[in-house]
Amino acid sequence: MKQGRDLKVGVERFPIRGRFTISRGAKHEAAVVVATIGDGVHQGRGECVPYARYGESVEGVAQAIEACAPAIAARLDRAGLQALLPPGAARNALDCALWDLEAKILGRSAAELAGVAPLHAVETAFTISLASPDEMAARARDAATYPLLKLKLGDDGDEARLAAIRAAVPKARLIADANEAWRASDLERLLQAAKAAGVELIEQPLPAGGDAALQHIHRVVPVCADESVHDRASLRGIAKRYDAVNIKLDKTGGLTEALATAAEARALGLKIMVGCMVATSLAMAPALLLAQDADWVDLDGPLLLDRDRVPGLAYTSGTVMPAPAALWG
């Protein structure tokens, strides 16, 4: 008889270096929920970040994971998990824990199990939080060793921010994220400002559910869906409005659905960004499988923290290495 499995759930908090500010507000710590699944010999871990924008709370997500303990004890697999929980943070933690556990039991890498070629280092963006034009320009200048900067926009003064940052870092590649804060009436003007600043991509300029205008304008800068897309089921409805999609494991509900979402996005002609919430290396590690052939990678969560897990991912001037086996996968 196969031994049952046990589930442990923990909430951990990691201070953010300074503060992380977007159009919805600022925060000073990353609150993560970690699921650990063990079989008596091996343990697999997965980390998620509950997001209030999607109606999630730390307590609610932890409870949702804990409620799966009987199914885990009965050896729930990843296919069964997809049917048991909806896309979101809770399913992400469990899905990634199951990938990690399977890799450890079989003595094979999660990449190999997923049919992904041996992992290589990838270039990640580094995020500049929303602030005044001068402050963002100064932060961008301080981060000039990173070849790709991600600018948080979404407030009055975005044109000035874009111009100031480009003047401060004339050689850096730039992408930007408005976090649903632009108005349709300002869209074409702000896209032109982004083009003038040499921005490669704008994430989610309009609110999810209010982004129809994107289909009817000439997008002078490619536009990427974030809040408008969660998993495969949401792709077809937005494919004509966007040029790319930001795939995050906390939205898809784990690596299993994220891999399928990426394949479907490619089939629809969409480019791919692999993104993250502010979290530790444990949350980034499974996303690196998805990032191998992505058009843009934004997995800088640990770089925004005062401290990370040990062992964690190794970052060098905007390049992140594959995870050590002791961390995940």
3-state secondary structure 36-82: EEECCCCEEEEEECCCHHHCCCHHHHHHHHHCCHHHHHCCCCHHHHH
- In the chain, the number of structural domains is 2
Half-sphere exposure at residue 319, Cβ-oriented, CA atoms within 13 angstroms? 6
Half-sphere exposure at residue 145, Cβ-oriented, CA atoms within 13 angstroms? 6
Which residues are catalytically annotated? 152, 248
Mean pLDDT of 61-69: 98
CATH of the domain at 24: 3.30.390.10
Q: What is the pLDDT of residues 217-267, one digit of tens each?
A: 999 999 999 999 999 999 989 999 999 999 999 999 999 999 999 999 999
Residue keyed to tokens 């949702």: 64
**Does some domain include residue 41?**
yes
Same domain? 225 vs 172: yes
What CA–CA distance (Å, rounded) separates 46 from 7?
11
Domain boundary among 47, 74, 107: 107
Q: What separation in angstroms does the CA of 144 have from each of 138, 139, 209?
A: 10, 9, 36
Residue 84: name the closest of 64, 100, 98, 103 by CA: 64
The model carries a pTM of 0.95
What confidence score (pLDDT) does residue 23 get? Answer: 66
Q: What is the pLDDT of residues 283-297, one digit of tens each?
A: 999 999 999 999 999
**What is the token pair recorded at 212?**
């129809």
**Does some domain include residue 327?**
no
With a cut of 90, say whether residue 205 has pLDDT above it. Answer: yes
Same domain? 252 vs 217: yes
CATH of the domain at 176: 3.20.20.120
What confidence score (pLDDT) does residue 172 get? Answer: 96
**pLDDT over 70 for what percent of the chain?**
98
What confidence score (pLDDT) does residue 62 get? Answer: 98
Same domain? 191 vs 293: yes
Q: What is the pLDDT of residues 18-42, one digit of tens each?
A: 878 776 677 889 999 999 999 999 9
What CA–CA distance (Å, rounded) separates 106 from 120?
22
H/E segment holding residue 177: strand 173-177
What confidence score (pLDDT) does residue 298 get? Answer: 98
What confidence score (pLDDT) does residue 163 get? Answer: 98
Same domain? 59 vs 145: no
- Order of strands, sheet of 43-48, starting from the edge strand that comes earlier in the sequence: 6-22, 25-38, 43-48
Write out the residue range of the structural domain in which residue 203 sits.
122-320
Radius of gyration of the chain (CA): 19
With a cut of 70, say whether residue 1 has pLDDT above it. Answer: no
With a cut of 90, say whether residue 177 has pLDDT above it. Answer: yes
Same domain? 135 vs 87: no
**Does some domain include residue 34?**
yes
